[in-house]
Amino acid sequence: MWRYAGRRALSTIPVMAIVALFVFSLLYIAPGDPAAIIAGDQASAEDIARIHASLGLDRPFLVRFAEWLWDVARGDLGTSIFANLTVTHMIGQRVEPTLSLMALTLVFSIVVAVPLGVLAAAKAGSWIDRLVMLFAVLGFSVPVFVVGYVLAYVFALQLDWLPVQGYTPLSRGVWPWLSNLILPVLALGAIYIALIARITRASMLEVLGQDYIRTARAKGLGLAPILFLHALKNASVPIVTVIGLGVALLIGGAVVTESVFAIPGIGRLVVDAILRRDYPVIQGVTLMFSFLYVLVNLVVDVLYSLLDPRIRQ
């Protein structure tokens, strides 16, 4: 298994190199002159030249890319044009809310979606199955920001049960931290739960039709052992796949969710950076999210080898 994991880890190096090249190229493929856009309409030629120099646009592409790549390897993602702070420092200030939101959404979605999918497959064709699939279709169809606004209106403004916006650090207490994240997690988790539940149901239906499941039933095994000990284990590879791929949904959804609920996370940081054309921040955040996505897919590949040893061969 370790040899397989090592091969998969090495295969991520060219992927990250291509991602780094694309991220760095954002300055050059963006429409218009980035320096002129950042400087504004009233800027002088000297102001534009100064921004050109700060962004490295006055030097050859390959030379600047090599310098930027070396800085990234040392943990230096550059300096914000507007805040005059290092991008690493700005990300560090915002990372706790985003990681809290994504981690809670991931755990909550898996805990809810997998049993729902198993239940729908076990009761295929019944009203339970139809109800679960209806929720899955709605959850995947309704935009995250619409779900967020509805939840905020009902549970925060009308019932006054939960805060409508903001974030409380975990260091100030578990409940204040959790109360600010319940509504965002429910809003962001709706689409993720729908996706995982649908794939779980489809994968379980395929496995439940196999001969060894009929043999287990003929031996008198109960429904729960058959579903969760035999069928779910053999249906887990597609489920793990969609969980890993769904991290992209979490990353994109976190940007929208943080804007709806005014959470001061990395999503809000990148939105503000895009509005102000703060390219070093955009590059740093994009590179960080890309690395996170590649890392999650590496973990998924390693889990494949644990769930199905034939993959290691």
Q: How far is CA 151 from CA 14, 89, 142, 155, 163, in A?
A: 42, 33, 13, 6, 11
Superfamily of the domain at 93-312: MetI-like (1.10.3720.10)
Long-range contacts of 107-111 (CB under 8 A, 24+ apart): 108/185, 108/189, 109/189, 109/192, 109/193, 109/196, 109/246, 110/196, 110/243
How confident is the model over 151-170, as a mean pLDDT? Answer: 83
Assess whether pLDDT exceeds 80 at residue 224: no
Q: Which positions ≥6 away from 128 have C-beta within 8 Å?
A: 119, 120
Structure tokens at 301: 């590949």
Q: Which of 103, 131, 101 is closest to 194 using CA atoms?
A: 131
Q: What percent of the chain has pLDDT over 90?
A: 1
Structure tokens at 229: 């000990």
pLDDT-derived band at 42, boundaries 50, 70, 90: low
Q: Which of 157, 96, 147, 154 is closest to 257 using CA atoms?
A: 147
Distance between CA atoms of residues 304 and 298, nearest Å: 10
Per-residue pLDDT tens for 124-143? Answer: 778 888 888 888 888 777 88
Q: Where do you find CATH 1.10.3720.10 in the chain? A: 93-312
**Phi, psi of 248, deg, nearest 5:** -60, -35
Q: Which of 87, 82, 86 is closest to 39 using CA atoms?
A: 82
The pTM assigned to this predicted structure is: 0.79
Q: Which positions ≥6 away from 177 have C-beta within 8 Å?
A: 100, 168, 169, 170
Q: How far is CA 142 from CA 80, 130, 147, 229, 294, in A?
A: 35, 18, 7, 34, 27
SS3 for 86? strand
Q: What is the pLDDT of residue 311?
A: 56
Distance between CA atoms of residues 23 and 165, nearest Å: 32
Please, what's the largest Cα pairwise distance for the chain? 84
Per-residue pLDDT tens for 46-63? Answer: 766 777 676 666 677 787
Q: What is the pLDDT of residue 207?
A: 79
Q: What is the pLDDT of residue 312?
A: 55
